[in-house]
Amino acid sequence: MAPLPIYHARRGWGIAAAGFNFWMAKTLDSIVQCLTSAGMTCRLQGEGNLQVSRVNTLEDAGAGDISFLANRKYSRLLASTRATAVVAPMEEEIARPDLAVIRTPDPYAAITRVVVELHGYRRHPRWGLDRRASVADSARIGAEANIAPGVTIGERVTIGDRVTIYPGCFLAPGCTLGQDVVLYPNVVLYEDTVLGHRVTIHAGSVIGEDGLGYAPVDGKWVKIPQVGHVEVADDVEIGANCTIDRATLGQTVIGRGTKFSNLIAVGHGTRIGEHCLLVAQVGVAGSVVVGNNVTMAGQAGVVGHIIIGDRATLGAKAGVTNDVPPGVTVLGQPAVPIADCKRQVASLHRLPEMRKRLKELEAEVQQLRKRLEADGQR
């Protein structure tokens, strides 16, 4: 059955269905009004009655689309884009009278607001509490639950209001979920996992599995029961296929507002601070303490039992083997401050030239030796 058009008091006519909203066109004047009402400085260059209905890239945009320029490296695309309008920096030179421009000091923040205005956030299918979900008698389910068929909810699980759980999810006994949590398909929460309010976990992630807890005894690895748990604070978003080990004792903690990309692995007993950003394929070993507002770029690896200070940045593929002070950016394997790493890389690139010069010097020294020896025999 096709989705039905609905009327929204502020946005006008649009389509209501699972997935993202695609509302009818809005004028550039209304877009500017939306941005200024959100506290953003902006100025329209062009006709305010032009209409846009979708946000798109500069390359793929067509008539009726609005795009943006946040990185000057893509300025060349302004000459060829077919977008109706673009959001661009205040000082950007755009020599196209046919292209409307919304100028603002922060185009990335502005286009984020435009995406929300035109497309909204993902709309979830509505199941209510589906009778095909398996829910233990002792589980407590909050108001307006949205639980799909094929979900398993164990004993003593507590679920807050307006929680959405997609098919295939498994919640082991003793888990606690706050309000407005979203679990996408096949998320697994092991025993006693705690999720705060507005936590989102994407498909295939596993929270609270046993960590690498083994003791060497008589040449063999003996498993240590992992009796701790995982606590994920409010407003955390975890990407697809991530794993967060339960603590051996105590808690593994993910701080408020932290965001994970996909394929992140966090070891047992690690504590990650607030508003951190971990990019794809980051691996953090056990018992690491990560401060607030830390960024870990793709494939960075962190050994266990170290401290990463507030506002530190780990560059892509950084192999971090020692503590990182607050505010420091490190790069390389092993990771060092970025200025040192750049010097190392520059030296490495000069190695062929240096090797050639060394051979020349060795040859000159050999010739000098021969001359000295010949002079000594006279």
Identify whether 136 is part of a domain: no
Are residues 192 and 330 part of one domain?
Answer: yes
**114 lies in which domain range?**
5-119
Are residues 286 and 197 part of one domain?
Answer: yes
Are residues 324 and 205 part of one domain?
Answer: yes
List pLDDT tens digits, range 283-333: 999 999 999 999 999 999 999 999 999 999 999 999 999 999 999 999 999
Cα dihedral 272, 275, 280, 284, rounded to 10, equals: -10
Domain boundary among 69, 98, 119: 119
Are residues 328 and 196 part of one domain?
Answer: yes
Are residues 310 and 211 part of one domain?
Answer: yes
DSSP string for 294-349:
-EE-TT-EE-SS-EE-TT-EE-TT-EE-S-B-TT-EEETTTTEEHHHHHHHHHHHH
Are residues 107 and 207 part of one domain?
Answer: no
Q: Please state the domain count of the chain.
A: 2
Are residues 108 and 198 part of one domain?
Answer: no
Q: How confident is the model at residue 7 (pLDDT cuts 50, 70, 90)?
A: very low
Looking at residue 371, its pLDDT comes to: 87
Identify whether 13 is part of a domain: yes
Catalytic residue among 124, 229, 268, 275: 268
Q: How far is it, in rounded angstroms, from Cα 203 to Cα 329?
A: 31
Are residues 277 and 193 part of one domain?
Answer: yes
Identify whether 368 is part of a domain: no
Alpha-carbon distances of 309 from 152, 324, 327, 358, rounded to whole Å: 39, 6, 7, 42
List pLDDT tens digits, range 167-210: 999 999 999 999 999 999 999 999 999 999 999 999 999 999 99
Looking at residue 5, its pLDDT comes to: 45
Are residues 199 and 78 part of one domain?
Answer: no
Q: Mean pLDDT, to the nearest integer, of 164-168?
A: 98
Domain boundary among 88, 104, 119: 119
Q: How far is it, in rounded angstroms, from Cα 126 to Cα 162?
A: 11
Are residues 53 and 192 part of one domain?
Answer: no
Residue with tokens 């603590």: 247
Identify whether 293 is part of a domain: yes
Identify whether 86 is part of a domain: yes
Mean pLDDT of the chain: 93
Looking at residue 9, its pLDDT comes to: 38
Q: How confident is the model at residue 375 (pLDDT cuts 50, 70, 90)?
A: confident
pLDDT at 337 over 90: yes
> β-strand 51-52 against 26-27: which pairing, if any?
antiparallel
Identify whether 162 is part of a domain: no
pLDDT at 21 over 50: yes
pLDDT at 15 over 50: no
Share of the chain above pLDDT 70, in %: 93
Domain boundary among 88, 119, 150: 119
Q: Mean pLDDT, to the nearest integer, of 341-348?
A: 87
List pLDDT tens digits, range 265-281: 999 999 999 999 999 99
Share of the chain above pLDDT 90, in %: 84
Looking at residue 370, its pLDDT comes to: 87
Identify whether 137 is part of a domain: no
The CATH number given to whatever domain includes residue 70 is: 3.40.1390.10
Are residues 191 and 109 part of one domain?
Answer: no
Looking at residue 4, its pLDDT comes to: 43
56: which 2 tokens? 């798109």
Identify whether 20 is part of a domain: yes
Annotation marks residue 268 as catalytic? yes
Q: How far is it, in rounded angstroms, from Cα 81 to Cα 101?
A: 12
Q: Write down the pTM of the prediction.
A: 0.86
Length of the chain: 378
Residue 26's SS3 state is strand
Are residues 191 and 328 part of one domain?
Answer: yes
Looking at residue 10, its pLDDT comes to: 38
Alpha-carbon distances of 267 from 134, 239, 253, 324, 328, rounded to whole Å: 30, 16, 10, 18, 23
- SS3 for 142-209 is CCCCEECCCCEECCCCEECCCCEECCCCEECCCCEECCCCEECCCCEECCCCEECCCCEECCCCEEEE
Q: Mean pLDDT, to the nearest integer, of 249-257?
A: 97
Q: What's the number of CA atoms in the CB half-sphere (13 Å) around residue 369?
A: 6
The CATH number given to whatever domain includes residue 252 is: 2.160.10.10
